[in-house]
Structure formats: structure tokens, C-alpha cells
Amino acid sequence: MPHVVFVRAMNVGGKNVFRPAQLATTLSHLDIVNIGAAGTFLVRARSTPAKLRKEILAELPFEPTVAVATADAVLDLVRSQPFRNVRFSRDLRGWVAALPGVPRRPPKLPIATPSGRNWSVRFDRVVGPFALGVWRRRPGGFVFPSHVVEKAIGLPATTRWWETLERVAKLIES
């Protein structure tokens, strides 16, 4: 069964720098496809999440969180159209955070940060191995969805914009 791998905090602000395309080449025996520069990969070879984590971490000079989801979980999420009633723009985007495990306690949702009318990140739901919500541009600084999810559920979160998940789904189906 194919898997989708989400590596956390890659190439952010000059820290944990690596070349995802080079990693994909090194791990070509996994039939791995690099998706962008953030550390998202489609792995087509048969493997387990534990083996994938081990092989990826062995090739990196640092130890990031690695979340692994089945390709079916990604397809199910995209096909469910969780943002079907949201009109995205430059200032309003959907996000998905891959989780490395199941939350011990489900958070009371939705959570808006900052609270009130001027929220920037809204955490709306957890669907299987994913947390979902909406980000909106607001003056006064950037709030990243991962921070909101991590505070609410106590697990590391690896965030990607919704369009990345749609792109991954198209690759899985091709």
C-alpha cells in the first residue's frame, strides 16, 4: 500500500535544511516521489510507517518528526471535500496538519487563534490522522496552524496547505 510522508519543519527559516529531491533520489528503491520543498513524499513501494520513518531519518543530519499516512487516508480526505463551502483566496486558505499519532484527548473544537473576530487560524476538526482548519491573513503577525494544533492536542503537527493534499491525491490516482 502506498504511503504519504510528511516531514516536519524542513527548510524553514534556514533551519533543518535539506534537499527533498536529493532524498528522493537516495531512497529511489522506495519508488518515492518528492512533492515540493517542504518535505512531502509519496512512497509507492510496499513498506510500513515504521520502516519508512527509519529509512528517512537515517538519511537526515537531524531528527524531525515524520508523520506517515496511507494513500487511502489522503484520498478519502480529499474526496470528502472538507472545504467545499469555503471560497479560498490569497487571504484565506485551507490547511491540513498530518499527525504522527492519535490525539489522547480530543480537543473542544473549533478553536480560533487569536480568539475573537480577528482570528488568524481556526482549527475545525480532526479526521483520522489529520487536523484541518482555515488560515486567514491578518495584520499583526503570522500565526502558523501547527502551533494551534500542537497546543490543543499535545502532538507535533506537520502542516501543509490544502492544495498540496489535492496535488498528492492526483499523484496517487495517476
Instruction: Let me know whether 94 and 169 are in one domain.
Output: yes
Pull the grid cell for residue 41.
513524499
Pull the grid cell for residue 134.
482555515
pLDDT tens digits for range 10-45: 555 566 667 788 889 999 999 999 998 788 999 999
This prediction has a pTM of: 0.90
Instruction: Let me know whether 60 and 84 are in one domain.
Output: no
In the block, residue with C-alpha cell 496535488: 167
Helix (H, G, I), strand (E, B) or coil at 147: helix
Instruction: Let me know whether 46 and 101 are in one domain.
Output: no
Cβ proximity of 124 and 132 under 8 Å: yes
Rounded-to-integer distance, Cα 156 and Cα 174, Å: 30
Residue 141 — pLDDT band, cuts 50, 70, 90? confident
pLDDT tens digits for range 44-86: 999 999 999 999 999 888 888 899 999 999 999 999 999 999 9
Nearest to 99 by CA among 119, 81, 123: 123
Q: Mean pLDDT over residues 135-156, rounded?
A: 90
User: What CATH number does residue 46 fall under?
Assistant: 3.30.70.1280
